[in-house]
Amino acid sequence: MKFLSSVTSPAKTPMRSFMQSVSETGYLPPLYQCWLNIVKSFFSSLSGLLIAVVLGPEIVIGWARIGNLLAESAFPAPSIAREGSLQQSHSGSRLAFRGGKRMGHTMREVAKRAGVSPATVSRVLNKTHYISVETERRVLEVVGQMKYFKNVHARRLATGRSDLFGLVISEIANPYFPEMIHGFQAAAWDRGFDVLLCNTQYDQARTKSILRKLIESDVRGVAVMTSSIDRSMASELIEAGIGVVFCNVSPAEKLLSTISIDYQRGIEQAIEHIVGLGHRCAAVIAGPDDNRTAITIKDALVAGLKKRDLHPLPVISSNYRIDAGASAVRAILSTPDKPTAIFCGSDLIALGAMSALEEAGAGIPEDISVIGIDDISFAFLARPPLTTIRVPRERVGATAFEALDRMLKLKRRKGADYYLETELVIRRSTTTAR
């Protein structure tokens, strides 16, 4: 659409000009700052009470600067000039003194020393526009010299948006998740965003509270990296205009992107590996029956084994814990027809299975070969090192943030489907069948 050159944009109102100034410079006049601190203190106390009562320690906040700022009193200390001098007044900047020492610098001062505009400083710090390498280097150098920190509260007040993304996992103690968290957090931090990490512990009541807290925290987007949350549970996020990315849920739609992990490829490689070693009898220890990823893996294993005439017996469902794998192996060893290979729905299950086999006097892999899924760090440290199907978890985390960031930049907020492959990693827990 073209516009006539004679048509001009409407004049900015005083309030609009004020908000734009706050957005670009991060500076609030003392009166507004005083009221902001009062409101901030009130909501800090209220939110702290809600977290303590509703969620306890289950939400981990990666937004460390908030805690430091909210720990201050509601009223700023009065500006006191140093002894023997007069309080200074600067147009467009704020000088604060506490205990005879100057407290921080303004964006205008950083801009003046760097020889650029306050808007350029804001763009460098917030990474919202392309800035030449030399200008960015100069601004960041001055920022470091002056120990300047941007006022995220003033920016949020002006723009109406937070710099926060949510990441939901099921169990922080599970070694499956650290690499995924690292990938998501690193991608977010590279673009100047912070992460709110939430841990459901497979509890439905806690999960609902977490989803509500994410909406109340005004996050930009949420990556749901646990199969314990389905699309219906996350519908409130989408209705609130918050973008969501899921694992192994399709298809994509408005405000919803999906990451599909191709377990089929790695499972086929694992079955071919076992068949090539001469195994003709295999068992399966799958994950929980109420977990969609566990069901996907179990169905692929059973179908693949049947296709190669290795009818799996028995097929046992368990949870993603070491003791569950051990219990399942005890049940398998009690059957008359013992398998020569065991496929496990996760590395944790496989580690438990190996422990129980060792207790029973069965040699690994001489008597029974064991295959896991995930390739967590403990898989390499197991004795013998575990043959497993590698899931690129750090890439999953990074892709989750990329999917959210890309979706939220689109005018229609349309989601997309992303695909990641798995692959077999052969170690010493598998060998030729007897």
CATH classification at residue 112: 1.10.260.40
Both 139 and 181 in one domain: the answer is no
Establish if 179 belongs to a structural domain.
yes
Q: Are the C-beta atoms of residues 255 and 409 closer than 8 Å to each other?
A: no
Backbone angles phi, psi at 23, to 5 degrees: -60, -40
219 and 234 share one domain:
yes
Claim to verify: residue 149 and residue 294 sit in the same structural domain: no
Distance separating alpha carbons of residues 367 and 268, to the nearest angstrom: 23
Is a pLDDT exceeding 90 seen at residue 417? yes
Domain boundary among 132, 160, 188: 160
User: What distance, in Å, lies between the first and last C-alpha atoms of the chain?
Assistant: 75
Please tell me the predicted confidence (pLDDT) of residue 232: 84
334 burial type by CB count under 10 A (0-12 exposed, 13-18 middle, 19+ buried): exposed
- Helix (H) / strand (E) containing 139: helix 133-146
How many domains are there within the chain? 3
Cross-strand pairs, 342:
283, 370
> Which of 117-121, 284-288, 342-346, 398-402 has the lowest average pLDDT?
117-121
The pLDDT, as a whole number, for residue 146 is 82
384 is a domain residue: yes
Q: Is residue 207 part of a domain?
A: yes
Domain span including residue 273:
263-392
Percentage of the residues of the chain whose pLDDT score is greater than 90: 52
- Given a contact cutoff of 8 angstroms between Cβ atoms, the answer to whether 372 and 400 are in contact is no
Note whether 230 and 342 are same-domain residues. no
Contact 76, 38 (CB under 8 A): no
pLDDT averaged over every residue in the chain = 80
The span from the CA of 110 to the CA of 146, in Å, is 7
Instruction: Enumerate the β-bridge partners of residue 165.
Output: 195, 221
Three-state DSSP class for residue 167: strand
Single pTM value for the model:
0.69
Q: What is the CATH number for 242?
A: 3.40.50.2300
Asked if 342 contacts 285 with a C-beta cutoff of 8 angstroms, the reply is: yes
**Is residue 255 domain-resident?**
yes
CB crowding 251-261: b at 16 or more within 10 Å, else e: ebeebbbbbbb
339 by DSSP, 3-state: which? coil
Residues 124 and 146 in one domain: yes
| Arithmetic mean of pLDDT, 85-112 | 54
The answer to whether 369 and 341 are in contact (CB under 8 A) is: yes
Q: Retrieve residue 423's tokens.
A: 């692959």
CA–CA dist 5, 236 (Å, integer): 44
**How far is the C-alpha of 398 from the C-alpha of 190, rounded, in Å?**
11
Minimum mean pLDDT range among 115-129, 161-175, 242-256:
115-129
- State which H helix or E strand residue 24 sits in: helix 14-25
**Within a domain: 126:** yes
**More confident site: 55 or 389:** 389
Whole-angstrom distance, CA of residue 400 vs CA of residue 124? 25
The verdict on residue 357 lying in a domain is yes
Q: Is residue 11 assigned to a domain?
A: no
Return the closest-CA partner of residue 203 out of 49, 59, 352: 59
Using 50, 70 and 90 to split pLDDT, how confident is the model at 82? very low
Closest CA to 173 of 181, 164, 161, 165: 181
- Is pLDDT above 90 for 285? yes
Distance between CA atoms of 330 and 107, rounded to whole angstroms? 66
- Predicted pLDDT of residue 31: 52
| Mean pLDDT in residue range 312-325 | 93
Are 282 and 342 found together in one domain? Answer: yes
On whether both 146 and 214 belong to a single domain, the answer is no
What pLDDT is attached to residue 155? Answer: 59
pLDDT digits (tens, 9 = 90+) for 345-376: 999 999 999 999 999 999 999 999 999 999 99
pLDDT at 187: 96
Same domain, yes or no, for 135 and 165?
no
**Within-domain flag for 102:** yes
Q: Is the pLDDT of residue 129 over 80?
A: no
Task: Decide if pLDDT at 121 tops 90.
Answer: no
Asked if residue 132 and residue 185 are part of one domain, the reply reads no
Average pLDDT over residues 392-405: 97
Say how far apart CA 405 and CA 379 lie, in whole Å: 33
408 CB neighbour count, 10 Å cutoff: 16
26 CB-near residues (< 8 Å, 6+ apart): 106, 107, 122, 150, 151, 154, 155
On whether both 118 and 229 belong to a single domain, the answer is: no
pLDDT recorded at residue 90 = 35
Spatial distance between the Cα atoms of 303 and 309, rounded to a whole number of angstroms: 10
Say how many CA atoms lie within 13 Å of 51 toward its Cβ. 15
Is the pLDDT at 267 greater than 60, yes or no? yes
Specify which residues 198 forms β-bridges with.
59, 168
Do 167 and 136 share a structural domain? Answer: no
Q: How confident is the model at residue 92 (pLDDT cuts 50, 70, 90)?
A: very low
257 lies in the same domain as 280 = no
